[in-house]
Chains A and B, each alone.
Chain A
Amino acid sequence: GAGVSQTPSNKVTEKGKYVELRCDPISGHTALYWYRQSLGQGPEFLIYFQGTGAADDSGLPNDRFFAVRPEGSVSTLKIQRTERGDSAVYLCASSLKGSGSGYNEQFFGPGTRLTVL
């Protein structure tokens, strides 16, 4: 079956612009996560959705970052007024958490490499 997909794979933008990153989770996975990975670092948690609602958005660095998952499947991470420091790989993951699964093994997408010039 299909894994987690993310589009675009690469995004280059200019400082101050708005970007949207899309994540398509594994079918049937109710939980969806966004992470940010800077070069040489481990993934850093941004936000977690259970169904349509953001169950935990404590990792979003500031109010320029926002994410939605209106129908409980596809999610979009939105970044306003991008800054050079936002440059990173943005990873999406999904899991069966909350669907009767006893644990939270997350399956990751290929990521979107965002470069802010």
Chain B
Amino acid sequence: ELKVEQNPLFLSMQEGKNYTIYCNYSTTSDRLYWYRQDPGKSLESLFVLLSNGAVKQEGRLMASLDTKARLSTLHITAAVHDLSATYFCAVDLYNDMRFGAGTRLTVKP
């Protein structure tokens, strides 16, 4: 059975600090997506990673994909309060996407 595992599930960090969220998956796929969800809101697309070695950056967030290791990372640089949200990775299985359980990030001043 396909598993998409994110860790940590909960992350509390200070403003200005760096941290990495990990997404491991158990099937062959070279397409992975990262989404952000604010409380009570829907999912907002952050990154689309379409090949092994893909790296995308937007502001303080950088995502990468290693399809051989079946691992994607979301790196946060110099966190700010506005980044507080839940972050999901999702593996593209052609007909559907399988989501991780999410990482709930809280950035404290």
Contacts and interface: CB of A to CB of B under 8 A. Distances in A.
Q: Which of A42, A48, A108 has the most CB of B within 10 A?
A: A42
B97 A55 contact: no
Chain B's interface size range is 20 to 34
A105 B42 contact: no
Contact of A107 (B4, B45, B50, B98): B45
Chain A's interface size range is 20 to 34
A110 B99 CA distance: 17
Interface string A35-46: 000001111110
A104 B102 contact: no
B12 interface: no
A25 interface: no
Interface of B: 4, 31, 33, 35, 41-45, 48, 50, 88, 90, 92, 94-102
Instruction: Name the 5 nearest CB pairs between A and B, nearest first.
Output: A42-B99, A56-B95, A45-B96, A108-B43, A108-B42
Interface of A: 33, 40-45, 48, 55-56, 59, 91, 93, 102-111
